Structure 1
Amino acid sequence: MAIQPLDASRSNPSEGGPSFSLSNRLLRGAWNLTWLLFASWTPTPLKPWRRFLLKRFGAKLGVGADVRGSARVWYPPHLHLGDRAVLAQHVTCYNMAPIHLGPDALVSQGAHLCAGTHDITSPVFQLTTKPITIGAKAWIAAGAFVGPGVVVGEGAVLGACAVTFKPLEPWGVYAGNPAQRIKTRVLRT
């Protein structure tokens, strides 16, 4: 079940008030401490241990899916990884809304998946969240940024350090800020 941000007009986050419920903040606190102490330092071969911890906190992981120890997952119940999907080293998975990776999807080192933003027209700067979906066999390259609500099509590639706030078509290769389609990805047979 997706969590919703609190109404900023009531919680006053600009004055130090919370953006999420107390139960959400407590779960995230327990999660961050657990990951820091028991997983953040683990080498790649300890994938089963990291998978166990993520699942205990509510993540849904397909067969062979992996989150590397230096990756940061904001809220495990909003993480859904298909078979063999990977969040590599130093990935930031800021999943205030659900983030889904299809089978064989790869998010490379230092990439940032951000499922939240603020309504800049709101007088209270209301936090808003939108899910991210990354299709099967898609690749988010090193240092790239994927914004709230983006759907990355099957097999699409977002190049290194590229930024997208818009959908990426299946099997397209995108680069730049903002990301532009530069060619079609064709797999060798």
Structure 2
Amino acid sequence: MPSIHPLADVAEAEIGEDTRVWQYVVILRGARIGRNCNICAHTMIEGDVVIGDNVTVKSGVFLWDGMRVEDNVFIGPNATFTNDPMPRSKVYPDRFRSITLRQGASIGANVTVLPGITIGEHAMVGAGAVVTKDIEPYTVVAGNPARVLRSLDHD
């Protein structure tokens, strides 16, 4: 059974066993969150968001409709995900562009990810990076714009 703080605002959503939802979290109707996740204070998850198992979402993160977060992903505090490449007040695109975080990816604090990006399996994005294009699996990136620093060993 999930643990939901009494000061969280959780609509009808699918939340997995042993997931912890902390105070001042807003989860909209239809969201799907896996098992053993940690959804920290001051986060918001829209209804068409799917989060896998063992995911950590630190404080100050908003996950917009269409985002897909696979298992074992870490999202650092105040990471920003965008879904509109040409935002204007009261002007909405026909379709928002989603972001995908593949299994085991780690997103550092204050990272900004532009619309339509996929971050590969076990990739690491350094704090403060601005991600303007897809990140390959097992790659470490940092900077503005994010640039490859090195590859990670993997089997």
Stretches (4+) displaced over 2 A = 124-128
Matches for 1:66-105 after TM superposition, within 5 Å? 66-73=38-45, 75=46, 77-93=47-63, 95=64, 97-105=65-73
1:153 to 111, 120, 124: 120
TM-score, normalised relative to structure 1:
0.64
What does residue range 127-138 of structure 1 map to in structure 2 within 5 Å? 127=93, 129-138=96-105
Q: Is the counterpart of residue 181 in structure 1 residue 148 in structure 2? A: yes
Letter in 1 for 2:66: P
Identify, as 1 or 2, the structure richer in helix.
Answer: 1
Give the gaps of 5 or more residues in structure 1: 1-36
Between the two proteins, the alignment pairs up a number of residues equal to 139
Structure 2: runs of 5 or more not aligned: 1-5, 10-17
- Is the Cα–Cα contact under 8 Å of residues 118 and 126 in structure 1 kept in the other structure? no
Q: Normalising to structure 2: TM-score of the pair?
A: 0.77
Residue equivalent to 1:116:
84
For 1:116 and 1:88, how far apart are their aligned partners in 2? 23
- Structure index of larger Rg: 1
Q: Which residue of 2 aligns with 1:165?
A: 132
Residue 71 to residue 48, structure 1, CA distance change in 2 (3 Å): closer
Q: Cα 1:126–1:175, aligned 2, differ >3 Å: closer, same or farther?
A: same
RMSD: 2.9
* Amino acid in structure 2 at the alignment position of 1:110: N
Identity, % of aligned positions: 24
